[in-house]
Structure 1
Amino acid sequence: MPAAVSLIEFFSALHTSGQAGVTRDPLPADGSAQSFTLLSRAFHESCEDLPGGLRVHLEWRPESAVNALHYIYRLCQALVDRAMPEEEVHRICAALPLAPSSPDEVMSQDLTLRHLPELHAMAKSMSESDPLVSGIEAAAKIFPLSSVGIALPQPPDLTAIRRHESLWRLYIDRVIERQDASRLDDEPTRLAVADALGAHALSLAPRLAAKLALHSSPSSTPAP
């Protein structure tokens, strides 16, 4: 592991390349103007890239973003340190950021939580029984925008995402891009995905097309 890493170094590497080094020490608390400027700039750049025509203003929530960043750092520690005791992995996974209650918080947390699917895939490839896998899956239910690509057993709460047109479009785009068929169990999501894919569902997203076809097929049960 690297000798040391700062909040700015960790976020910069993660944000630009999707890869970042960690140490066995906690990520240092950094309330400097430089770190907040970096995170704020990344937030506003992400907002500018949101899909959709009408972009309702999103407010930067620094506390939400920083808490999510520290959480991702701890998950990376658990992923890299294979000698970490299971009890410590469980503790790290349980120390979740607060669930978002507004579109502002959703987008602020997504700056780093968007890497949850990659962390989940890497942890699962090492060992499906690793407590880190189940821990990330528990987080996936609470942060549905960031976790698209991690199959969920039940539809997540999408209230905060649906409040914002562009966040909702981003969610639908991610479901299509990552072909996360589990998200189609939510009817509004299923209808929005079907509408976005139109007649090209089979060629653009075959895994989603199969599930959409199941829902659109007439029931074989005779009417009473």
Structure 2
Amino acid sequence: MELSTFLQDLFTHGDVAIESRIQPFSDEDEQTADALLKQCYDLDVPDMPHTAPAFDSAAARWGAFYLYRSVQAVALRDLDDTSLANLLADYTGPRTAAALYSADLCLRYLRDLAWLAKGLAPDDILLTYLQRIAQRWPLSTVGIAVEGDVDLDPLWAHPSLRQAYVDRVIRARDKTALRHAQVREAVQASLGDHAATLWPDAELNTTIPSSLYEDNT
């Protein structure tokens, strides 16, 4: 199964297949995958609030690699920690707004994969890797239970990513995200007078800074 075929299936109907063995992707396959990721970005941008970040092909490709290898890790139960460390290495480039959004084109599917992995084996070591990614790529991993601090700073500085993250927290009813004061404030700002109706058990008792209503692009 080529990466490009995996992405085509993922973006078209959501049902994917993977190789039953670990092998590198060809240069031609990666180039085709890059084109599919850019096409996905172009289709996704109109749904983003405010002005979306630019496309970062390196981050998008890494996100595609990470998702594909994670799916393999769920299916191939004989992978040890050393193998997973090699397959699921974190992104080495700067986590700019463009990188966060571009990687999210594929990383946004990790939440469902984490639920599947936990259902199959609650102590699966793969969940440790997904936790680490959730801490560093919170835009993409709303709904994954995270132990420890989550790095919100890179996305919080960009109005589009910040609002997209808040919208996802609300849709997922992710109460663990509300432990961060700035998230509670932003959620309350988004829900406004409808908070008690739309998320009655969110326990939003904060003062909303006026700056949250401003688009500082």
> Do the structures match in fold with TM over 0.5?
yes
Alignment correspondent of 1:78: 73
Q: Which runs of 4+ in 1 moved over 4 A?
A: none
CA distance in 2, matches of 1:33, 1:72: 17
| TM-score normalised by L of structure 1 | 0.82
Deviations 1:123-182 (A, max 9, x none): 011111110112211111011100111122344222221232111110000000011111
Deviation at 1:15, TM superposition (A): 2.1
CA distance in 1, matches of 2:31, 2:126: 33
CA distance in 2, matches of 1:202, 1:134: 35
Q: In structure 1, the residue corresponding to 2:187 is in which secondary structure?
A: helix
Structure 1 residue runs of 5 or longer lacking an equivalent are 217-224
Aligned AA (2:110)? L
Alignment correspondent of 1:42: 40
> Over aligned residue pairs, what C-alpha RMSD do you find?
2.2
Aligned AA (2:61)? V
Q: Is the alpha carbon distance of 1:119 and 1:99 closer, same or farther for their aligned partners in structure 2, counting shifts above 3 Å? A: farther
Alignment correspondent of 1:221: none
CA distance in 2, matches of 1:141, 1:180: 15
Deviations 1:66-90 (A, max 9, x none): 1121111111101011233454335
Q: Is the alpha carbon distance of 1:206 and 1:154 closer, same or farther for their aligned partners in structure 2, counting shifts above 3 Å? A: farther
Contact between 2:131 and 2:147, CA under 8 Å: does it hold in 1? Answer: no
CA distance in 2, matches of 1:98, 1:160: 15
Aligned AA (1:26)? Q
Query: What is the total number of aligned residue pairs between the two structures?
Result: 205
Contact between 2:7 and 2:33, CA under 8 Å: does it hold in 1? Answer: no
Q: Is the alpha carbon distance of 1:206 and 1:78 closer, same or farther for their aligned partners in structure 2, counting shifts above 3 Å? A: farther
Q: Is the alpha carbon distance of 1:73 and 1:35 closer, same or farther for their aligned partners in structure 2, counting shifts above 3 Å? A: closer
2:2 counterpart of 1:6: yes
Aligned AA (1:28)? F
CA distance in 1, matches of 2:165, 2:60: 19
Structure 2 residue runs of 5 or longer lacking an equivalent are 208-217
Deviations 1:102-136 (A, max 9, x none): 11111110010111111110001111111011221
2:18 counterpart of 1:22: yes
Q: How does 1:1-224 map to 2 (within 5 A)?
A: 5-23=1-19, 24-26=21-23, 28-31=25-28, 33-52=31-50, 55=51, 58-93=53-88, 95-98=89-92, 100-207=94-201, 209-210=202-203, 212=204
CA distance in 2, matches of 1:160, 1:125: 31
Taking every aligned residue pair, what percent have the same amino acid on both sides?
30
Q: Is the alpha carbon distance of 1:99 and 1:118 closer, same or farther for their aligned partners in structure 2, counting shifts above 3 Å? A: farther
Q: In structure 2, the residue corresponding to 1:145 is in which secondary structure?
A: helix
Deviations 1:187-223 (A, max 9, x none): 111101012122333432245x24x25x68xxxxxxx
Q: In structure 2, the residue corresponding to 1:156 is in which secondary structure?
A: coil
Aligned AA (2:16)? A
Q: Is the alpha carbon distance of 1:90 and 1:199 closer, same or farther for their aligned partners in structure 2, counting shifts above 3 Å? A: same
Q: Is the alpha carbon distance of 1:45 and 1:21 closer, same or farther for their aligned partners in structure 2, counting shifts above 3 Å? A: same
